[in-house]
Amino acid sequence: MRVEIWSDIACPWCYVGKARFEKALAAFPHRDEVEVVHRSFELDPGRAKGDVQPVITMLTRKYGMSEAQARAGEDNLGAQAAAEGLDYRTRGRDHGNTFDMHRLLHFAKEHGRQDELIQILYRANFAEERSVFTEGDERLVELAVEAGLDAEAARTVLADPAAYAGEVRADEREAAELGATGVPFFVLDRTYGVSGAQPAEVFTRALTQAWGERSPLKLVDPGDAEACGPDGCAVPQS
């Protein structure tokens, strides 16, 4: 079974939702037969690469919150993250364009390190003092290396704006086609969708239901035509 997760590194609920989903997956009896794929979704796709501002400022301007409301919201997120065993800095974080991170995640997918990289990017953005937005490509290269990727290869990807850009845009178009207007958005076997950072119990029910309703393969015109198998190939006798 495949679970696809549309998310953004700048999304705190994606950070929390991933932890809740993984709690459910860890207890799922068929967890070793579940493939998890991370898909791209930008919360702020129109933001220029160099346009970085404090999270509190972004919240007040984008959503019309007062500063007190924005701070209270961050405190609530910090408490929700802590309940899942996650570190979360409620003050001093910044916000910026995540397109290069998504490109790097597609590169990591090709090398089997996507889940490692996305978790490292989340931790760097939400829990560490150093910014993932203001230190340039070398900060992202450093995080890619921590995820087990080659530094020079990651540097080459980031230096080429076209590298994996098509893959990011394809994910975003697909999210729109599926009706995802926000993240996190979980799609199980292209049959069930779960929107938002739901409690682990909801993910448990979704995994169980999706697994139980998988359709067995139906053969068209099953017959005795020649085929190859573990014991060799059937050779017609003249």
Q: What is the mean pLDDT of residues 32-57?
A: 96
Predicted pLDDT of residue 236? 58
CA angle centred on 102, ends 83 and 26, rounded to 5°: 40
More confident residue, 120 or 225: 120
Each residue of 126-140: pLDDT tens digit? Answer: 999 999 999 999 999
Mean pLDDT of 110-124: 98
DSSP code string of the chain: -EEEEEE-TT-HHHHHHHHHHHHHHHT-TTGGG-EEEEEE--SSTTS-TT--EEHHHHHHHHH---HHHHHHHHHHHHHHHHHTT-----SS-EE---HHHHHHHHHHHHTT-HHHHHHHHHHHHHH-SS-SSSS-HHHHHHHHHHTT--HHHHHHHHH-TTTTHHHHHHHHHHHHHHT--SS-EEEETTTEEEESS--HHHHHHHHHHHHHTPPPP--SS------EETTEE-----
What digits encode the pLDDT tens for the residues 166-203? 999 999 999 999 999 999 999 999 999 999 999 999 99
Does position 222 have pLDDT exceeding 60, yes or no?
no
pTM to 2 decimal places:
0.89
Stretch among 11-15, 46-50, 208-212, 222-226 having the lowest mean pLDDT: 222-226
Average pLDDT for the chain: 93
Contacts of 28 (CB under 8 A, 6+ apart): 34, 204, 207, 208, 211
- Looking at the predicted structure, is the pLDDT value of residue 206 above 60? yes
Contacts 24+ apart (CB under 8 A), 74-82: 77/12, 77/13, 77/16, 80/16, 80/197, 81/12, 81/15, 81/16, 81/19, 81/126
Region 10-15: what's the mean pLDDT? 97
State both tokens at 155. Answer: 């540097």
Q: What is the dihedral of CA 34, 149, 110, 174, to 10 degrees?
A: 80
Q: Band of the pLDDT at 214, cuts 50, 70, 90?
A: confident
Say if residue 184 is preceded by a cis peptide, omega within 30 of 0.
yes
Residue 205 has pLDDT above 80, yes or no: yes
Residue 227 has pLDDT above 70, yes or no: no
Judge whether residue 238 has pLDDT over 60.
no
Quick one: pLDDT at residue 195? 96
